[in-house]
Amino acid sequence: MSGGAPSPGRAPVPGWPAAAPSSPPLPLRPSAPVLGASILGPLVNLTMRGLLGRRRILLVGLLALAPVGVAVVLVVGGGLSTTAQLTRQLYDSLVMTTIVPLVALVLGTTAIGAEIDDGTVVHLLTKPVGRGWIVFAKMLVAGTAGVALCGTSVLVAGILLVRLDAPGLVLGMLVGAVVAVIAYTAVFVTLSVWTGRALIAGLAYVLLWEGFIASFFSGTRLLSIREYGLAVAAGIAGPEAGTLARDVPMATGLVLAAVVTSVAFWLGARRLARFEVSDAG
Amino acid sequence: MSAVAPTTTVAVTAVAKWYGNVVAVNDITFGLEPGVTGLLGPNGAGKSTLLHLVAGLLRPSAGSVTVDGRPTFGDPAVYRRVGLVPEREAIFPYLTAREFVRLSAQLQGLPFGSGAVDRALGTVELSNAADRELATYSKGMRQRAKVAAALVHDPAVLVLDEPFNGMDPRQRLHMMALLRALADEGRVILFSSHILEEVERVAERVLVVVAGRLAASGDFREIRRLMTDRPHSFTLRTSDDRALAGRLVGRPTVSGLTFEDGRLDVRTADFATFTRELPVLARDAGVSIFELAPADESLESVFDYLVRR
């Protein structure tokens, strides 16, 4: 892969898209002395501190751990025999419908949207840094945080509920959530580069499109990140998938998630390269 | 800091910037060479928009902005040559000043340990406070931290938006001296201000922007003369308005006079002579002056005058 873009081989996040675009679309002359991979470290470091420094990260953490809380209540509280079926329902209707998209929404829009809102993004934009790398660093940090939070939550909740009776199901749910959270964060990072109302737009997508329209019209499922995640979860769970089973094959889900993530990255980098800092006065 | 060579030039050619129906900057043309240029104008005149255009953060709706012949918008490579100190106080509050300036150095690709960070912090006299978080800084200190971050890569062009805002008089003098020193090294310095005296103290050339248009440009003394030669109005409160008015009426420097309600309004076409004559006239008439206030000395009225010319 020739200089510039994040290569899938180096992806530090499990499930990071196989098809990352080959180079950020920057309007640069070949000789332009613009920095690339060498500044990823400082950018990632800055983004991490920015994300961890904001109070909303605590909220996101609590949100992400909600399934664990529910699992604990179910296991300890009822003495009720927690079955794999209950676990599937929890995963389908809570984790993949609400937790994963909302965690990704807050992380994705905070990673760069907050810097655009408060004006600190100017300090990044006035540097000879390829815009694709700024977007990539934001997606990397938000995605990694999302994977860590949602992954832990699904794994712990899954093991609490089905113990080791259905390891395939737990693994499937884990990978499905990871794939979904990566695609979601990429989309939401890009959304906040394109619009100052990314949070609203993101909520509209999650609640209206995925929550409502896509659940009624099966044809629109191919345009739903949630469905990609569920397809991957069902594919890995195999016979243990039960009601999680999907019309969309796992390979299709994976490829589409990778395409969505890559396109989101490309659009984000493209937009940031032509980004105008409005500062009235 | 090393001298900058060869000579860098900034060219702004017939630039306009509009947002929908709102015209922020209208058909402005000027060139910048090494030295300090002050961008003077009232609030909302389009100074920030113009500086953002120069710094490549806004796309011109018409015309072009180039640094050494290369358009500034959409080309990150331009920031090798350009540093920007934005007006907004936006900083990363969780970073220390040293971290903030180091980040800038890293994103400029400066080698680690090159001393550039310490040098920049020393230039703005922040070395002692460099390890405190920016959140704890005063407005003036944040301003200096931003200057250090913009200077760390030794840019040939430095653009500063209202750099003296929030500074105390000592910091202000220091910043003025710093801008002069940077200009003497051959840098192009462009800064905005809405305060005449700031621009007068530090700038060799002045661009006056009013309502998005370039109202005047050139040598400062020329513009100063235009500003002081215009008719001035003063309001006086004295122990005996009528007696003083009698004396004033006879003077050629006084072009108009009214008195009512214990208040004397005087118009003069020759500001300098009038201000020398007035105390003498008052003394000779045995009149005490309690108050002397310029009636129209707001910067806006100065700009109005320049635009109407």
Interface check A69 vs B, CB under 8 A: no
Interface check A280 vs B, CB under 8 A: yes
- Is the CB of B103 less than 8 angstroms away from the CB of A274? no
Residue with tokens 């680690």: B112
Nearest to B107 among A28, A39, A120 (CB): A39
CA atoms lying within 13 Å on the CB side of residue B56: 29
Q: Rounded mean pLDDT of A167-180?
A: 94
Amino acid identity, position B87: E
Q: Are A267 and A192 in contact (CB under 8 A)?
A: no
Task: Report the C-alpha gap between A221 and A276 in whole angstroms.
Answer: 35
How close A32 comes to chain B (CA, Å)? 6
Q: Hey, what are B70's tokens? A: 């290369």
Which pLDDT value is given to residue B302? 64
Interface check A26 vs B, CB under 8 A: yes
Residue with tokens 């500001």: B271
pLDDT in tens, A206-221: 888 887 776 677 777 7
pLDDT in tens, A89-144: 889 889 999 999 999 999 999 999 888 988 889 999 999 999 999 999 999 999 99
- Is the CB of A125 less than 8 angstroms away from the CB of B86? no
Does an H or E element contain B19, and which? strand B10-19
- Is the CB of A28 less than 8 angstroms away from the CB of B58? no
Rounded alpha-carbon distances, angstroms, from residue A244 to A203, A206, A249, B165: 24, 19, 12, 61
Under DSSP, is residue B291 helix (H, G, I), strand (E, B) or coil? strand
- Is the CB of B103 less than 8 angstroms away from the CB of A125? no
pTM above 0.90, yes or no: no
Chain A neighbors of B79, CB-CB under 8 A? 126-128
- What residues in chain B have per-residue pLDDT under 50? 1-5
Q: Hey, what are A78's tokens? A: 């009822």
Rounded alpha-carbon distances, angstroms, from residue B196 to B41, B43, B108, B274, B299: 9, 13, 34, 21, 8
Within 8 A by CB and 6+ apart from A182, the residues are A13, A15, A16, A17, A143, A146, A147, A257, A261
- Kindly state the percentage of chain A with pLDDT values over 90: 51
Which pLDDT value is given to residue A81? 64
pLDDT in tens, B246-276: 888 888 888 888 887 778 888 887 777 888 8
How close B50 comes to chain A (CA, Å)? 9
Question: Which of A183, A201, A193, A195 lies closest to A262, judged by CA?
Answer: A183
Q: Hey, what are A258's tokens? A: 């990778």
Task: Report the C-alpha gap between B36 and B190 in whole angstroms.
Answer: 6
Does an H or E element contain B225, and which? helix B220-229
Amino acid identity, position B162: E
pLDDT in tens, B58-109: 999 999 999 988 999 989 999 999 999 998 877 888 899 999 999 999 999 8
Interface check A223 vs B, CB under 8 A: no
Which pLDDT value is given to residue B249? 87
Task: Report the C-alpha gap between B246 and A185 in whole angstroms.
Answer: 80
Q: Are B156 and B187 in contact (CB under 8 A)?
A: yes
Does an H or E element contain A43, and which? helix A40-52
